[in-house]
Structures are given as structure tokens and as C-alpha cells.
Amino acid sequence: MATIEHWIGGRRHPGAAVRTSAVFNPATGQRQHEVVLAERADVDDAVAAARAAFGPWSQASLSARTKIMFNFRELVNAHVGRLAELVSDEHGKVLSDAAGEVQRGLEVVEFACGIPQLLKGEYSDQASTGVDVFSFREPLGVCAGITPFNFPVMVPMWMYPVAIACGNTFVLKPSERDPSAANFVAELWRQAGLPDGVFNVVHGDKVAVDALLDHPDVAAISFVGSTPIARYIHQRATVTGKRVQALGGAKNHAVILPDADLEYAANHLTAAAFGSAGERCMAISAAVAVGGAGDPLLDLITRKATEVVVGPGRDPKSDMGPVVTHAAKDRIEDLIDTGEQQGAKILVDGRGHSVPGNERGFFVGPTVIDQVGTGMDVYTEEIFGPVLSVVRTDTVAAAIALINANPYGNGTAIFTSSGEAARRFQREVQVGMIGVNVPIPVPMAYYSFGGWKDSLFGDKHVHGPEGVSFYTRGKVVTSRWPHVEAAHGASLHFPTSS
């Protein structure tokens, strides 16, 4: 059984290795690796390596940095298949889905390849007589990323390509449940020519996270994960003066109006609810059927849900793989039990799902629950599994009010043929990412990704323009050269334009 070590200063680093954690293959239920869990001293080593690399890297020309970004882009592109296998074997998602995740991460790398354009400042000639004003942005220093299990390639790639292209150095603390992809990426950075210490990986749990949050040499923290941890990260890291963006959990609603193409809506809802076994922060977990849409929609969805092929992620016939751990399977099945006890109607039941030949895998089948009330646990909890809850309302206004009353505000979608209803929805709904006939509206890399309310703590979304802003700080220079005409006099008055 391989032991997955840290990556510090351009090479594998065993660390103290006092504690380790098992990494499972969710399709077989077998332990396949051990990952070392960092102690504070290991985090100190990683931050020291990143700090030492920051000086030269932040001074490297835009051309030099861009060249390495392009090299890295080529290497990731050449290894999409291998990265997808690593993800599938530790997360469980099917290979095509894992390759899609790598592709969406690659788009952020491509965005970061344009860093010379993105870092252009502003210039005002002759702002006052003989005075010019200009601005530019500088990197922050050592930045850290703490990431969840559900996108072990894409979510870290929302962060470090932009941070590094901006001239920062980076310490990644990936999820301990699927850690291998991070080390593979570190090796690709090395091959791309990134100087040692610019990109580091520490594996671990709360001990490693707390060490990063408290470390005086870490300037900024990017976090993606569940809401309670996001809130904690934001509180603890801002106390020590760090810049923080902490993206939290979600409960994403899709509203289906009676005028929608219901076959189209049912196809996309099935994919959005059960793709990646529902373990996506943008998964649709609540369908809000308005007026007469409910019954015909449910007929279609129940049929499509039962057609989903559940099996190992490596099997090309599988549409949906297992969930990540046995504990996740138990929790999801318990929540379905509770839904039933609280009066909801289970139309498609994924509990106890068994895959022949993989009986010990962590499988839960697609589950559709009707007559869900907003007080039930299946509605209030982020289930993070292949479970679609259906809520019914009479009007669009009631559907919007329901979404706005929910504490989360990550993503949402509306299915309709009415431009008027869609426009009203997009203007009134209090959610960061909105789809119109698009169930999973993940923004392109050149926009920024992020939710509202309990789905984000901090001000800045990730990647896109807000990512560049997050990983840099501005300077404004006001300059006058004494030999310029009329610039010789000085007065004690507050300086004003002339």
C-alpha cells in the first residue's frame, strides 16, 4: 500500500508522519493508500519553502511567468486521462465526469495564461499640471488553499493558477479523502519549470488547516468546503489579519414552470441531481415544481432516475459511481429514512443499492422524494448525495420566496419558455449563480465563481477578475518630475489639481 507524502520545495517530503489516514477506493470499499497527516512543523516547512520562493518568483518577469503557465497548460492537457483515473479511483465519480472536472480546471489555467493582460494597471497622464498618476497590482506573498473532496482537481485549480500567475507562492491542503491528484499536479508544475517552493502540498486534517490559518507568513486563505468549516475558517483567519475567501455548502433549487419543455427539464434535472452521485456543490437537490408542472414532471423524472446505470467509476457503462465513504453512504441513507418518517413520499429509493461484483462499494442509488416540506430534514440539510427532493408551489413568486428564505445561495436554475418569468427570476433571486434552462450554471473561468449568503464568507469569488483582485493588492503612484514646467513651487496647502 503506497504512502502519499507531502510535496515541499519541489520534492516529496515525508514530514513527521506521526499520523496517517486511509484512502479508500469507494467502488470496491477497499483501503488503497495511506496519506500522511501534517503536524504543525510540516506546515512550517511548507510555508518556509513558499516564503523563500516568493522573492524571486514575484520578481520574475511577466514573460517568464507566462511561459511556465503555458508549459503547465500543455502538461495538464496531455495528462487529462491520468488525472481523471486518479480522481475516479479515490472519489468514485465516473471517468467521463472526472475528465470533465479536469477540463473545467484547465480553463482556469488558460485564463491565467493571459496574466499580462489581466495585471495591466491604469495611467492618467497630466492628472495635474506636470503630475501623472498610475496604478498597478502586486502579489500578496504566500497564499494557501484548503479544498474539499468532491473536486480534487478542479477546485484547487480555481485557486493556484491565478495565485501563481499573479506572482504569489502557494501551499495547497487538499482533502485527505482523495489526495493523490494534488501530488500529480505538483509533479506537472515541476516539469513545467516552476521554481521549487512556488507550489507546495501539505496533506492533513484540522491540525494542518489550523496551522495554516494561524501562520504569520500566510497572507491569504482560499477555502472551499462545507458551510460550518467555511464560517470557522473565515473567523479564525481574519483574526490574524489574512485575506479570506471561504466558499461553503449549498442547497440548489431548480424551478420548473408549466410552460417549460418538461422532457428537456427532466433530462437536465436527472443529470444535475445524480451526476457525480449528487456530490457537487452545484448539484440540483431541490426541484420546485410550479402549478401544473409537478405531476407530469415527476412521471418523467422517476422513469429517468430508474434508468441511471450505477456502477464503478472505471466502468464505461456506469452513469453514476459510488459516494465517497461508507460514512457518507450511511448519512445519506439515514436522511432518506428521516424524510420518510417525516411524511415525504419516496418515489425512487436508492437505499441499500448493491452493484453485482462490487457489493462492498459505497453505492447509493438515485432517489426521488416527493411532497417534501421546507421543515423536513431532507430539505434543510445539505444531503450531498444522489437525492432529489421535490417541493411544489402555486406561483413563481412563491418559488422565488422559498429560495430566498433558504440560508444557502450558491446556484439555482429556472426552466421556462417565458423570457419575462426568467428575467424576473434572475433579478429577484438571492443567489450568486443562476441558470436559465441551464441546470448547473458554473461560470466560465473568465467570470468569477461564488455564491451568496451561507455559501460564501468573505467578499471575493474565485477565479476570473475577482480571483485576480483577491490574489493582488493595488498601488497608486502619483509622480511629478521637477524639471517639468511649472512644477517648481511648493506650498503647505493640501495638494489639489491644477
CB of 208 to ligand NAD, least distance (A): 8
Q: Which residue lies nearer to ligand NAD by CB, 34 or 349?
A: 34
Interface residue with ligand NAD, options 25, 66, 88, 147 (CB under 6 A): 147
Q: Catalogue the E-assigned strands of 261-303.
A: 284-290
Q: Which of 113, 143, 166, 281 is catalytic?
A: 281
How many residues contact ligand NAD, by CB under 6 A? 27
- Contacting ligand NAD (CB under 6 A), which of 148, 179, 197, 441? 148
Beta strands at 199-201 and 169-173: parallel, antiparallel or unpaired: parallel
Contacts of 241 (CB under 8 A, 6+ apart): none
Q: What angle do CA 374, 376, 379 make, to 5 degrees?
A: 60
As a whole number of angstroms, the distance between CA 287 and CA 414 comes to 10
Residue 24 CB, shortest distance to ligand NAD, in Å, is: 14
Cβ proximity to ligand NAD: between 73 and 173 the closer is 173
With cell 434535472, the residue in question is: 269
Q: Which of 83, 87, 115, 146 binds ligand NAD (CB under 6 A)?
A: 146
Catalytic annotation present for 281:
yes
Closer Cβ to ligand NAD, 68 or 224, answer by number = 224
Chain position carrying cell 495611467: 123
Q: CA geometry: angle at 354 spanning 349 and 359, to 5°?
A: 155
- Give residue 376's identity as a one-letter amino acid code: M
Spatial separation of the C-alpha atoms in residues 196 and 9, rounded to whole Å: 5
Work out which of 384, 415, 425, 471 binds ligand NAD, going by CB under 6 A: 384
3-state secondary structure of 232: helix
Residue 121: how many other CB atoms lie within 10 Å: 12
Whole-angstrom distance, CA of residue 208 vs CA of residue 211: 5
Give residues 196-255 in contact with ligand NAD (rule: CB under 6 A): 205-206, 209, 224-226, 229, 247-250
35 and 176 Cβ atoms separated by less than 8 Å: yes
What would the x/- binding string for ligand NAD be over residues 436 to 475, using CB under 6 A?
Answer: ---------------x---x--------------------
**Comparison of 57 and 151: residue with beta carbon closer to ligand NAD:** 151
CB nearer to ligand NAD: pick between 250 and 391: 250
- Residue with Cβ nearer ligand NAD (131 or 440): 440
Closest approach of Cβ 165 to ligand NAD, in Å?
A: 21
Determine which residue in the list 66, 150, 180, 285 makes contact with ligand NAD, applying CB under 6 A: 150
Could you please report the per-residue DSSP string of 64-108?
Answer: HHHHHHHHHHHHHHHTHHHHHHHHHHHH---HHHHHHHHHHHHHH
Q: Which of 25, 175, 180, 276 binds ligand NAD (CB under 6 A)?
A: 175
**Interaction between residue 145 and ligand NAD (CB under 6 A):** no
Local structure of 386: helix, strand or coil: coil
The smaller minimum CB distance to ligand NAD, of residues 99 and 250, is found at: 250
Angle at 427 between CA 425 and CA 429, to 5 degrees: 60
Q: Which residue is nearest to ligand NAD (CB)?
A: 225
CB of 324 to ligand NAD, least distance (A): 8
Q: Which residues inside 296-335 make contact with ligand NAD, applying CB under 6 A? A: none
Max CA distance (Å), the chain: 88
The DSSP call for residue 407 is S
Going residue by residue from 396 to 425, which x/- string records binding to ligand NAD, judged by CB under 6 A?
A: --------------x---------------
Strands 142-146 and 218-224, bridge-based pairing: parallel
Q: Which positions are annotated as active-site residues?
A: 281
Contacting residues toward ligand NAD, per CB under 6 A: 146-151, 155, 173, 175-176, 205-206, 209, 224-226, 229, 247-250, 281, 382, 384, 410, 451, 455
